[in-house]
Amino acid sequence: MLSFLLDENISPIVATEIQKKRPEIAINSLFHWQEGKLLGHGDELILMAAREANLTLVTYDLRTIPPLLVEWGIAEISHAGVIFIDDLSIPSNNFGQIMRSLIWLWDNYSQDDWQNRLVFLQPV
């Protein structure tokens, strides 16, 4: 089942508000998950921890995550899925749109296998 981990570039308000509206959606913010111990750590460590917890990473990081995923693919290292957001599609300060889009994605794809899946979040 799809469970989200919002990276540190996404306000924890998004996770809090989604949990209020839809408590059945498993969503964590890196700010609060594991008491925030991964804040400021590298992408590789965060992706490994997310994989171990079966959490799909949600990120605006289009610069460093994609090359890391290419390396992992070559090395046949799995991840629990990554959902990319582009500021041109959904600005990072548009919490409402991020929430609506993540809820739509969960409603439509929560039962799918998210291992090694890459998706660009679209506005709905």
pLDDT along the chain (124 residues), means of 10: 95 97 97 92 95 98 97 97 97 97 98 96 96
- pLDDT of the residue at 22: 98
> Residue 103 and residue 73: Cα distance in Å, rounded?
28
Tens of pLDDT along 78-105?
A: 999 999 999 999 999 999 999 999 999 9
Q: Which of 21, 41, 24, 9 is nearest to 111 (CA)?
A: 24
Which pLDDT score is estimated for 93?
96
Q: Which residues contact 116 (CB under 8 A, 6 or more apart)?
A: 73, 78, 79, 81
Q: Is 82 helix (H, G, I), strand (E, B) or coil?
A: strand
pLDDT of residue 40: 87
Q: What is the pLDDT of residue 94?
A: 97
Q: How many CB atoms lie within 10 A of CB 69?
A: 17
Q: Which residue has 């460093």 as its token pair? A: 64
The residue segments making up the domain with residue 61 are: 4-120
Instruction: List, in order, residues 6 or more apart from 120 with CB less than 8 Å away.
Output: 83, 84, 85, 86, 89
Number of domains within the chain = 1
pLDDT at 1: 85
Rg value, the chain, Cα:
13
